[in-house]
Structure 1
Amino acid sequence: MGRADTARARGRLVESTPTRATMFGLSAAHLQVLLDGARKWFLIGNVASAPAQLFIDAPFGRFTPSEHSVFLVDGIKAWIVMELVSPAFFLYALFSGPNAHPPALGSPKSILVGAFLVHYFNRALVSPLRTPSRSKAHLIVPLCAVAFNTLNGSLMGAFLTSPTPPAPAPYFYAGLALWALGFAGNIAHDEILLNIRRRAKDKPKDKPKGEHYAIPHGLLYRFVSYPNYFCEWCEWLGFAVAADPRLVSALFSGSLLSGGFSMASASAALRGPAANFLPFVSAPWVFLISEVVLMFPRAYRGHRWYHDTFGDKYPKERKIAVPFVL
């Protein structure tokens, strides 16, 4: 076979080799459209559903329904399963996203990959496995969490393989420091709650079972009922700043608000292409906003429960979740 035949054979081989499949077997272009739509409607859905949750108790923990319900599941096992979904889809998107170029080891984005995985290693495995007891949860809770974590993990993993430039060093290191501070605070305040559960487990056998609630004290519990929520918000705020500070820069420069706001502009944003929807609000900011709007109603309901349960014994000066503010 001559050189021309060899070249033609090699050409046919290259042409016949299928392009590497991305997530769910979709092409990169179709997958990008899917991810843009997911980012848009994931944020809209979370924000739209948040107000109703101010009036509804999520059926887990202290608000678990009757023990006789057939829809109750083990609290610890359900927690592990639903939280492992996020890092699983994160890693899948990281290696199968539309760009599919995981960040180089030691790069800023690779550090953020590590930060995300460290958070979920603690949240999905370390924390629940160290919990001496956890109330059962209604099946709807892990199902909703699996849906949330599937979308969020996929969006975050795909974002960290995107070609967006790394954050300038001041933003990156300031954000990473805030992430670390929030992560440490989250663990410290969760440890206070775990100690309450451990003391409850050591009660004499004749004491009622399941009564592992008490007034927590120490650190930011002096100021708020849910400092672990506040620390988690700080954690993901730092992550968002380190991952994509464009929103912060736009706010400081005033360019984000320079166009003003009207119902017409809001309607156009909703009806327009998903890729053009709030371009500064990338996946890390979607995660942060979603966490705040969905967790605050739970904190509000829990804050009221503390006052209703402990009455005058509960410190009246404590805010809900943000020290001195709310």
Structure 2
Amino acid sequence: MAIVQGLIPPSRENWEWICYVWQFFPLITAIQWVIDWYPQGKTSTESRFNIPGKIGWATMESVGFLLLLVIFYTLPKELGIGELPWGNWTMVGCFVIHYIYRAIISPLFLNPSMSPISPLVWMLAFLFQVFNAISIGGWVSGYGPTTVEDWAGRYWAMEFGLVIWAWGLLGNMFHDDDLREIRRAVDRKQRREAEKLGKAPGNVDKVYMLPKNGLFQYVLFAHYLCEWIEWAGFWMVGGVHCHPARTFLVNEIATMLPRALQGKRWYEKKFGKDKVGSRKAIIPGLI
């Protein structure tokens, strides 16, 4: 049953067009190389139009995995496909697991606080998720492999890719939690002091310190690096010809690399180059 005729789920023609257009997303992110303005997270700005961080993040990130699931459960019926092979289910599982963590569990249950998000950033992130979900969703739901034979001969590569994906996800979770602990520690301290003074504790929305555990010893955005590793493993699961997974990885890098370099400049300005030391932005020893 089509929710939006020809788009959700996508027709073959529309899917191919979206996949083609989606390859040019790095042209949009190119602006991040020339300006440092990015109204979200540590570089968020004051505005009455801002969206609360937790709600904004959850809503803009959740649409991706929800839309992919809708396509996965509707498109095969439209194409007359009775049952998709386990490789397709594996890729859907990897995608959904990541975004349940990133879009639901992390912002709504784990993060002590999140800085507000500009509506512009929210809209661009929302569109990123929509294009990405249709691209990957179409591939795993009928426009890519549709039989067990389509996956034959590359089980070892899929297994290796799953291992890389899992390590990337675990690394992402570990370094995310290291960042959370910075605010949790400050929050605990403020609450103890507030209790002694009989006052309400302050918020920790804008509390930032230099992270130092794990790969943070070498780069400032280790959680970004781990996410790249995760999606590189995802592409390996799909195979070299899985162009939606490849485009996803390229678009992630195009978005996050200039953001990490901006973030490094922000850390150096706030804490001083001597405190940042020899740490790179995102790739140890290189960038």
TM-score (norm 2): 0.86
Provide the C-alpha distance between the structure 2 equivalents of 1:41 and 1:26, rounded to a whole number of angstroms: 17
Provide the identity percentage.
26
Give the drift of 1:50: 2.3
Cα distance in 2, alignment partners of residues 191 and 231 from structure 1:
13
Give unmatched runs, 5+ long, in structure 1.
1-20, 247-280
Q: Where does residue 127 of structure 1 map in the other structure?
A: 106
Whether 1:212 and 2:207 are equivalent positions in the alignment is yes
Partner in structure 2 of residue 282 of structure 1 = 243
| Aligned equivalent of 1:237 | 232
Shift of 1:319: 1.0
Counterpart of 2:97 in structure 1 is: 118
Measure how far apart 1:166 and its partner are.
Answer: 2.1
Identify the residue that residue 314 of structure 1 maps to in structure 2. Answer: 275
Distance 1:26 1:285 in 2: 24
- Once the two structures are TM-superposed, the CA of residue 163 in structure 1 deviates from its matched residue by 3.9
1:49 counterpart = 2:34: no
Equivalent position of 2:151 in the other structure: 166
Contact 1:22 1:96 in 2 (8 A): yes
Provide, for residues 6-55 of structure 1, a one-character-per-residue CA deviation record: whole Å limited to 9, x for no partner: xxxxxxxxxxxxxxx546223999811111111111121x1112221122
State which of 170, 174, 179 in structure 2 corresponds to 1:184. 170
Instruction: Describe the shift of the 1:306–1:24 C-alpha distance in structure 2 as closer, same or farther (beyond 3 A).
Output: same
1:79 to 57, 67, 85: 57
Q: What residue in structure 1 maps to residue 88 of structure 2? A: 109
SS at match of 1:200: helix
Q: Matched residues in 2 for 1:114 and 1:173: separation?
A: 14
* 2:263 aligned to which of 296, 302, 314: 302
Letter in 2 for 1:221: F
1:91 equivalenced with 2:94 (yes/no): no
1:324 corresponds to 2:285: yes
> SS at the partner of 2:4?
helix
Q: How far apart are the structure 1 equivalents of 2:167 and 2:10?
A: 38
1:286 Cα shift? 0.8
Aligned residue number for residue 135 of structure 2 = 155
Q: Contact 1:50 / 1:293 at 8 angstroms: preserved in 2?
A: yes
Q: Deviations over 1:35-88 (max 9, x none)?
A: 1111111121x111222112233201111112xx22111100111111110011
Distance 1:138 1:104, change over 3 A: same
Q: Within 1, Cα distance between the matches of 2:251 and 2:162?
A: 20
User: Do 2:8 and 2:71's aligned partners in 1 also have CA atoms closer than 8 Å?
Assistant: no
Over aligned residue pairs, what C-alpha RMSD do you find?
2.3
Moved more, 46-55 or 161-170: 161-170
Structure 2 stretches of 5 or more lacking a match?
Answer: none
Whole-angstrom CA distance in 1 between matches of 2:28 and 2:219: 24
Deviations 1:293-316 (A, max 9, x none): 011111110011011110045232
1:37 aligns with 2:37: no
TM-score by length of 1: 0.76
Q: Which amino acid aligns with 1:154?
A: I
Higher Rg: 1
Q: 1:57 to 1:99 in 2, by over 3 A?
A: farther
CA-CA distance at 1:239 after TM superposition: 0.3
Distance verdict in 2 for CA 1:319–1:30, change over 3 Å: closer
Q: State the aligned residue count.
A: 268
In the aligned structure 1, how far is the partner of 2:15 from the partner of 2:7? Answer: 12
